[in-house]
Amino acid sequence: MASIAAPCQAKMETFGVESLDLQYVDQGWGSPQTNKSLAGNTIAIGGQKFEHGFGTHAVSTLRIDLNGSAERFTAAVGVDDEVGQKGGSVNFRLIGDGKILWESGVMRSGNPAKMADVELHGVKRLVLNVGDGGDGSSWDHADWADAKIVMSAGRPKALGPPPESVVVLTPKPSSGPRINGAKIFGVRPGSPFLFAISASGNRPMTFAGDHLPDGLSLDPLTGRITGKFEKKGVHIVTLTAKNAFGTAKQSLKIVCGDTIALTPPLGWNSWNCFGRDVTDANVRAAADAMVASGLIDHGWTYINIDDCWQGGRDTNGNILSSDKFPDMKALTDYVHGKGLKIGIYSSPGPQTCAHYEGSHHHEEQDARRYAEWGFDYLKYDWCSYDQIAPSPDHDQMMKPYQVMCAALNSVQRDIVFSFCQYGMGNVWEWGAQIGGNCWRTSGDITDTWASMSVNGFRLAGLEKFAGPGHWNDPDMLVVGYVGWSAKVRPTRLLPNEQYTHISLWCLLCSPLLIGCDMTKLDEFTLSLLTNDEVLAVNQDPLGRQAMRIVKEGELEIWAKDLEDGSKAIGLFNRGEEKTKMTAKWSDLGLTGSQKVRDLWRQKDMGTFNGKFQASVPRHGVILIKLSPR
């Protein structure tokens, strides 16, 4: 630590930022590295090497308490040279007590370091922030090199996020029946049909359906509609659910044609909780919990196995499951027996991401096998297809998905086809044309604010590519107990961040795949996943993805048109301080007075003219519905 004499004779002390407690850095991927780049190399920017500083990954935030005793901040910043040709572009910002003190502008890999030299006199709280340069955060390895704070007294201190209390907003469902979930359902002619009516309310409950197409029947005790039929066209069915407290009716549009997944799939996937350690027992337990927790009554349907179920191939080339999955047919029967559906995972390359058997050269055989086993969903993950097409052009990017799509179309079973190739080649522009029901738009999500918010908010502008049967997918949910291994822990997202996560994914019409250990659902997590008015935004039959209407710094307003002529509006505060936000009718294309309903609280807020104002917490959201009076 160096000491310098200042004109006022106060004893100045200089602190390297790497000496602070870097566990408080919130970053998009990996963990912060003291005196090293993100990948653990000597920090290097534009050919210049640095001994001190820290390596991080956009989007990254470090909040520092200066106690009003700091004088100056200096650093050399840039993208680390370890990124090389892979790209990477970031923007650095220094924010003092909510005001931007310095900005680097967009910096790309190979650019020389930029020097930040900022006066801090009187500043109490400093935020070191790295943005994604406006183009997503792939390969955004960022360095705060030689970052130093000069203090006139005391020491700088890294700050954790401000404490937040866990507040359950979702009201408890009423005792009377309420029919939830999709109001429109697509099926291909002749495919086995399974649609389970989702209804909350006290049991026992009985179900009925008028005008079911010939070939389908409804079990009055379970509410499951099964069978098959060939007649293409739209069939409007009236569903009824009845219990001791009343009767609910809801119409269901069954569309028999070429398109399935007319609303975004709702379900669970094993990856974000169990990662490589997933077993048959975990999957059964997830299905059990989906029913026991009541999630099934709110429209949740799929139980999806991710990577690491495969056990090689037999002598005829048929894919086998590993010892962890002793009998796939028995497993799918078990899940279907609960009125749920089940998904599986593979890769177009020779191996999956976790180095299990992929589908390369076995696509038809695998699709047949998935159908025989009884799967309803396939996640198809690019990974080792890199070996086949190391620098794929547009056609090469599409090819493996076209091949598997043809294979899936050749079996008489409706299998939702989920592309997982992290957004390569702007997949949203062509995913639907080649049979994708959804496609990942970015790399893997993790349970940090940086990762979740970047994955979600980057869908601005992609709304024109989503619609019934084909959805943008910013990746699975990171609420509840996650861990990517047999050892799970509570999500690191704070409560307001979790409200943002679910609200945004609903506005975006994203597939909602719960990524947590379902046997450990706590009251708060369950409340996030069972708010029928919020889920209805995701499942709205119009299938219109929300648009970003306003962006003012860290404040964003998103709007989604709903089938009944109303709009769902999200007021999002991505900033560090609670802020008042205003949704103006003029920005939303509205006039006159509008009824405002708070969707999380399921509460009418009154009638408003011209605008609606609300105070939005740090990293939080207010989700409302505006309807004409």
**Of the candidates 59, 53, 125, 139, the residue with the CA atom closest to the CA atom of residue 92:** 59
End-to-end CA distance of the chain: 66
**Of the candidates 487, 484, 187, 537, the residue with the CA atom closest to the CA atom of residue 354:** 484
Q: Among the candidate windows 246-254, 258-266, 352-360, 404-412, which touches ligand GAL by CB under 6 A?
A: 352-360
Q: Which of 65, 277, 288, 444 is catalytic?
A: 444
* Minimum distance of ligand GAL from residue 420's CB (angstroms): 5
Considering the complex, state which of residue 383 and residue 506 has its C-beta at the smaller distance from ligand GAL. 383
Q: At 449, which amino acid appears? A: W
Q: Among the candidate windows 28-36, 225-233, 347-355, 401-409, which touches ligand GAL by CB under 6 A?
A: 347-355
x/- site string to ligand GAL, residues 285 to 314, per CB under 6 A? ---------------------xx-------
Does the annotation count 444 as an active-site position? Answer: yes
Considering the complex, state which of residue 143 and residue 381 has its C-beta at the smaller distance from ligand GAL. 381
Q: List strand residue ranges (DSSP E) for 46-154, in order.
A: 48-50, 53-57, 60-65, 70-79, 89-96, 99-108, 114-119, 125-131, 141-151
CA dihedral 435, 438, 444, 446 (to 10 degrees): -170
Considering the complex, state which of residue 104 and residue 472 has its C-beta at the smaller distance from ligand GAL. 472
* Minimum distance of ligand GAL from residue 276's CB (angstroms): 8
Which residue is listed with tokens 């993790």? 446
- What 3 state SS string does 183-236 have? CEEEECCCCCEEEECEEECCCCCEEEEECCCCCEEECCCCCEEEECCCCCEEEE
* Minimum distance of ligand GAL from residue 308's CB (angstroms): 7
Considering the complex, state which of residue 383 and residue 452 has its C-beta at the smaller distance from ligand GAL. 383
**Of the candidates 603, 455, 611, the residue with the CA atom closest to the CA atom of residue 534:** 603
- Give the 3-state secondary structure of residue 523: helix
| Apex 183 CA angle, 414 and 333, nearest 5 | 40
Give whole-number Cα distances, 254 to 98, 386, 509, in Å. 52, 40, 20
Among 12, 44, 354, 562, binds ligand GAL (CB under 6 A): 354
Considering the complex, state which of residue 15 and residue 139 has its C-beta at the smaller distance from ligand GAL. 139
For residue 484 the two structure tokens come to 């990517």
**Residue ranges in 546-585 that form contacts with ligand GAL under rule CB under 6 A:** none
Q: Among the candidate windows 3-11, 52-60, 351-359, 525-533, which touches ligand GAL by CB under 6 A?
A: 351-359
CA distance 247 to 283: 34
Q: CB of 69 within 8 A of CB of 154?
A: yes
Q: CB of 122 within 8 A of CB of 68?
A: yes
Considering the complex, state which of residue 446 and residue 496 has its C-beta at the smaller distance from ligand GAL. 446
Among 278, 420, 569, 624, binds ligand GAL (CB under 6 A): 420
Does the annotation count 140 as an active-site position? Answer: no
**Residue ranges in 360-419 that form contacts with ligand GAL under rule CB under 6 A:** 381, 383
Considering the complex, state which of residue 493 and residue 588 has its C-beta at the smaller distance from ligand GAL. 493
Q: Which of 280, 376, 381, 532 is catalytic?
A: 381
Ordered alpha helix ranges (H), 337-462: 363-373, 394-409, 449-457
Q: Among the candidate windows 317-325, 350-358, 386-394, 512-520, which touches ligand GAL by CB under 6 A?
A: 350-358
x/- site string to ligand GAL, residues 436 to 475, per CB under 6 A? --------x-------------------------------
* Minimum distance of ligand GAL from residue 435's CB (angstroms): 20
- Site membership for ligand GAL, residue 325 (CB under 6 A): no
Catalytic residues, by residue number, are: 381, 444
Binding site for ligand GAL (CB under 6 A): 271, 306-307, 352-354, 381, 383, 420, 444
